[in-house]
Amino acid sequence: MARPVIKFDQKNCAECGIGMPPVTFKRPYAKLCPDCKSDLRAGNHELRQIFQELKTTTTETEDWGSQNITTKDDAMLRHHRF
């Protein structure tokens, strides 16, 4: 099966706009250059570390037992329209 005809070749990076190296087939949409890819990966790694640190820290549980909390929501007694 033949490749579809692409009218416009994307020769620039999607983020920074610098020229990309030549390739055999035309790019159907703008790709990221190696520098932008490494920046995105580095950011994901930092976020992953933050979430792992938050998971390992113990959080204090709140005790709501001393408060008298009542709800006025009678879900079983509600009249549905349909």
What is the pTM assigned to this prediction?
0.42
Contacts 24+ apart (CB under 8 A), 47-55: none
Q: What would the two tokens of residue 41 be?
A: 């990966």
pLDDT per residue as tens digits for the range 34-78: 888 887 777 777 787 888 888 887 677 777 777 776 767 666 666
Please answer whether residues 48 and 29 qualify as being in contact, where contact means their C-beta atoms are separated by less than 8 angstroms: no
Q: Where in the chain are the domains?
A: 8-58
Q: How far is CA 9 from CA 1, 2, 12, 36, in A?
A: 20, 17, 9, 20
pLDDT per residue as tens digits for the range 4-15: 666 677 888 888
